[in-house]
């Protein structure tokens, strides 16, 4: 039995079914494989358990059951092995029915969630797992697609704008267009902090001014959080020497600068 997924890929609501605190999908995958193969070794491998771990689960269940769950046969002409009793098969069937109803319940809740656009949109944005420290949600407000490259501007709810440069093929693949929701992803290491421009201008397209709100010091480098007007926070990773040179501290005004090609864009259909 393949492990039943509680939700479809991309779903926003997930939950694992567990009975009596310890009997979960792996336990019942173990029972199912044992019923089909008669081999603890094979069943344990199928369920992703060690041989010892499989026996620990089975022994705990057998000790708590009022009726035997396993029948062990010694080797001989017919071969040995371990089989499920009728009581164990009944337990397995009960689990499979519960799992099916559990899956249906989660689908129903997912449908209900879709009726709350604001919350649904927020959870969709939060569902992305990425190593990029900075993730900003907004709407495509400008798009220029050339033969080779494309430039897209994403306007955040606060009014701040982030511009990204990507290939024309990527823009087509993302189906970018004005008004479409999009995420701008920027690694903290790609963000340069400027505390004083001294009259100079930089070529970087993205320059977001704010105030240092938090500093997390490390052995070699530090993370500096800059709060932008409207409450959004952008994080920069800089060396401790750089932090000292800029004399940054909480409350200091600074500008987060990063090039357009350092911005990754994500969209959903």
Band of pLDDT at residue 107, cut at 50, 70 and 90: confident
Task: Name the average pLDDT for the chain.
Answer: 86
> What are 218-231's pLDDT values in tens digits?
999 999 999 999 88
- Enter the tokens of residue 88: 């164990």
Q: Considering only residues 18 and 13, tell me which one the structure prediction assigns the higher pLDDT.
A: 18
pLDDT-derived band at 10 (thresholds 50, 70, 90) equals low
Phi–psi pair at 78, nearest 5 degrees: -90, -5
Residues 139-158 pLDDT 10s: 999 999 999 999 999 999 88
The string of DSSP letters for the chain reads -PPPPSS-TT-S------BTTTB-HHHHHHHHHHHHH--HHHHHHHHT--HHHHHHHHHHHHHH-SS--EEEE--STT--EEEE-HHHHHHHHHHHHHHHHHHHHHHHHHHHHTT-HHHHHHHHHHT---S-SEEEEEEEEEEEE-SSEEEEEEE-TTS-EEEEEEEHHHHHHTT--TT-EEEEEE-GGGPEEES--TT-----SEEEEEEEEEEEE-SSEEEEEEEPTTS-EEEEEEEHHHHHHHT--TT-EEEEEE-GGGEEEE---
| Cα–Cα distances in angstroms (integers) from residue 112 to residues 8, 13, 117, 120, 127, in the given order | 15, 11, 10, 10, 17
Name, in order, each residue with C-beta under 8 angstroms of 63's C-beta and a sequence gap of 6 or more: none
Residue 203 pLDDT: 92
Dist. CA 245–CA 193, nearest whole Å: 11
Measuring CA to CA, which residue among 83, 74, 97, 100 is closest to residue 31?
83
Asked if 165 and 151 count as a contact pair (C-beta separation under 8 A), the reply is yes
CA angle 264–267–269, rounded 5-degree value: 160
Mean pLDDT calculated for residue range 242-251: 90
pLDDT-based confidence at 24, cuts 50/70/90?
confident
> What mean pLDDT do residues 179-195 have?
93
Lookup: tokens for 122: 């927020």
Residue 74 pLDDT > 80, yes or no? no
pLDDT at residue 234 above 90? yes
The residue ranking higher by pLDDT, 195 or 75, is 195
Residue 62 banded pLDDT, cuts 50, 70, 90: confident
Instruction: Give the mean pLDDT of 19-34.
Output: 85
What confidence score (pLDDT) does residue 115 get? 82
The model's pLDDT over 35-47, given as tens digits with 9 standing for 90+, comes to 999 898 999 999 8
Please tell me the predicted confidence (pLDDT) of residue 63.
82
Residue 105 to residues 101, 193, 214, Cα–Cα distance (Å) = 6, 48, 42
Global pTM reads: 0.58
Q: How confident is the model at residue 9 (pLDDT cuts 50, 70, 90)?
A: low
Which domains occur in the chain, in start order? 25-118 (1.10.10.10), 128-266 (2.40.50.100)
Spatial distance between the Cα atoms of 19 and 17, rounded to a whole number of angstroms: 7
pLDDT given at position 250 = 94
The whole-number pLDDT of residue 4 equals: 41
pLDDT of residue 223: 95
pLDDT at 8 over 60: no
pLDDT at 6: 42
């Amino acid at each position: 039995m393949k492990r039943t997924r509680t939700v479809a890929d991309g779903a926003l609501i997930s939950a694992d079914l567990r009975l009596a605190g310890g009997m979960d999908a792996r336990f019942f995958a173990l029972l199912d494989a044992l019923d089909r193969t008669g081999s603890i070794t094979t069943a344990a491998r199928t369920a992703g358990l060690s041989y010892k771990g499989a026996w620990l689960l089975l022994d705990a269940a057998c000790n708590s059951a009022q009726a035997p769950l396993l029948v062990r046969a010694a080797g001989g002409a017919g071969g040995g092995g371990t089989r499920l009793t009728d009581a164990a098969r009944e337990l397995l069937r009960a689990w499979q029915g519960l799992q099916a109803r559990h899956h249906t319940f989660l689908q129903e809740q997912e449908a209900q969630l879709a009726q709350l656009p604001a919350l649904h949109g927020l959870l969709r944005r939060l569902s992305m797992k990425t190593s990029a420290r900075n993730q900003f949600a907004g709407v495509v407000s400008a798009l220029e697609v050339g033969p080779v490259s494309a430039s897209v501007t994403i306007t955040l709810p606060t009014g701040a704008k982030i511009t990204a440069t990507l290939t024309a093929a990527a823009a087509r693949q993302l189906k970018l267009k004005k008004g479409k929701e999009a995420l701008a992803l920027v690694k903290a290491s790609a963000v340069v902090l400027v505390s004083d421009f001294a009259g100079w201008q930089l070529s970087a397209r993205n320059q977001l001014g704010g105030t240092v709100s938090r500093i997390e010091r490390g052995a070699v480098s530090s993370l500096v959080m800059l709060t932008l007007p409207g409450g959004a926070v952008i994080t920069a990773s800089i060396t401790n020497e750089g932090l000292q040179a800029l004399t940054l501290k909480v409350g200091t005004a600074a500008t987060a600068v990063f090039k357009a090609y350092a911005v990754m864009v994500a969209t959903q259909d």
